[in-house]
Amino acid sequence: MAQIDWLSFPPLSALRALEAAVRLGGFSAAARALNVTHAAIAQQVRGLEEYLGRSLVHREGRTLVFSAEAEELAAAANRGFAEIQSALLALRARQKPNALSVTTTPIFAERWLMPRLRDFWLNHPDITLTLRAEQDVVDLRREGIDVGIRYGLGKWSGVEAEFLTSARMMAIGAEKLLQGRENLSPGDLKHLPWVLEQGWPETEQWLACSGVDLSGSAKSYFLTEELMLAAGRAGLGLFVASSAIVEQDIAEGRLRLLLDDCNDTHSGYFIVTAPGPLSDAKRTFIKWLRAQAARVPV
């Protein structure tokens, strides 16, 4: 363990103020995050400048600009505080060994995780699970979250990622819309109605890659993926979704797979944890996730 010369060390409150100001882009945002005044943050940073004998921040018009030294020091402070926070969370977890917090996207929570959670609760009634369904990617350590389930390629810095289930894209149709029609070609699909999520041109690009040109097709656009999926499952149109979201519907015959991914990018949903030892509750939940993912291949 490294020896620290505390007598010549600047106040931790000043380092905390600088870290928050650099990370959040200004004194006002840092003050809100730390629940102090703008003046308090400015005073702490000025004190740090006096300690170091150099300027850390200056104004260009109305914009606050941090020096390279300020950014370097703030990054080091962030790493140090993150380590302290990790240790504190680990100590708190020992007091509540069976409490578990999980974050994932709303659509994955609704369509993949929630239908399976009853099995987890039945088999592990001693583990209290809190689920956070949110679009934003959150910092696991900073937010005190035990397990995340993220969509992507599994290459994120600062976390451990383990593949959970495929998220390859596929074109899907409800049986109530298809009405028993089989062996539909890409040309046939073009003449059926489609429901699409607004703001995602990649969907139509993916369909074009698969031979389905939607120019001239009947298309309805929805603001969110949840609304688009609801419309597709109701038979209002064909749609494109990731395999993990629709695999249960396909297995149970409510939806039918029409086209598979023409250009697999190996994207998927990954189990994400902060580096370090796993608690018994984390290991139990991750083992359960793996078993659930292995049950319903698409």
Confidence class for position 70, pLDDT limits 50, 70, 90: very high
C-beta separation of 141 from 86 below 8 A: yes
Q: Which residue has the higher pLDDT, 83 or 271?
A: 271
The answer to whether residue 46 is domain-embedded is yes
φ, ψ of residue 219 in degrees (nearest 5): -130, 140
Closest by CA position to 295, among listed 231, 234, 252, 238? 252
DSSP, res 154: S
Residues 192 and 241 in one domain: yes
Range of the domain at 122: 96-167+267-293
What is the overall mean pLDDT for the chain? Answer: 86
Residues 118 and 42 in one domain: no
The answer to whether residue 51 is domain-embedded is yes
The answer to whether residue 153 is domain-embedded is yes
How high is the pLDDT of residue 298? 43
The fraction of the chain above a pLDDT of 90, given in percent, is 40
The answer to whether residue 1 is domain-embedded is no
CATH of the domain at 69: 1.10.10.10
Residues 187 and 119 in one domain: no
Total domain count for the chain?
A: 3
Residues 64 and 105 in one domain: no
Q: Which residue has the higher pLDDT, 277 or 46?
A: 46
Residues 144 and 202 in one domain: no
The answer to whether residue 196 is domain-embedded is yes
Residues 10 and 86 in one domain: yes
pLDDT digits (tens, 9 = 90+) for 193-227: 999 988 777 788 788 878 888 888 899 999 888 89
Residues 160 and 271 in one domain: yes
| Residues whose CB falls within 8 Å of the CB of residue 220, separated by 6 or more in sequence, listed in order | 193, 194, 195, 196, 231, 236, 237
Residues 69 and 216 in one domain: no
| Residues whose CB falls within 8 Å of the CB of residue 168, separated by 6 or more in sequence, listed in order | 242, 243, 260, 261, 264, 267, 268
Residues 55 and 199 in one domain: no
Sheet holding 255-259, edge to edge: 239-242, 169-174, 255-259
**Kindly report the CA angle at 287 between 284 and 289, in degrees rounded to 5?**
110
Question: Is the sign of the CA dihedral 248, 146, 106, 114 positive or negative?
Answer: positive
Residues 173 and 254 in one domain: yes
The answer to whether residue 184 is domain-embedded is yes
Closest by CA position to 130, among listed 122, 138, 121? 121
pLDDT digits (tens, 9 = 90+) for 90-148: 776 665 568 889 999 888 888 889 989 999 999 999 998 989 988 777 888 888 889 99
The answer to whether residue 298 is domain-embedded is no
- This prediction has a pTM of 0.55
**Kindly report the CA angle at 68 between 65 and 70, in degrees rounded to 5?**
75
Closest by CA position to 148, among listed 96, 93, 281, 160? 160
Residues 156 and 202 in one domain: no
Question: Domain ends where: 69, 92, 115?
Answer: 92
φ, ψ of residue 224 in degrees (nearest 5): -130, 160
Residues 179 and 163 in one domain: no
pLDDT average, residue stretch 243-258: 87
CATH of the domain at 161: 3.40.190.10
Six-digit token pair at 159?
């976390």
pLDDT average, residue stretch 267-275: 89
Tell me how far apart the alpha carbons of residues 282 and 294 are, in angstroms, rounded to a whole number. Answer: 19
Strand pairing class (194-197; 219-222): parallel
The answer to whether residue 204 is domain-embedded is yes
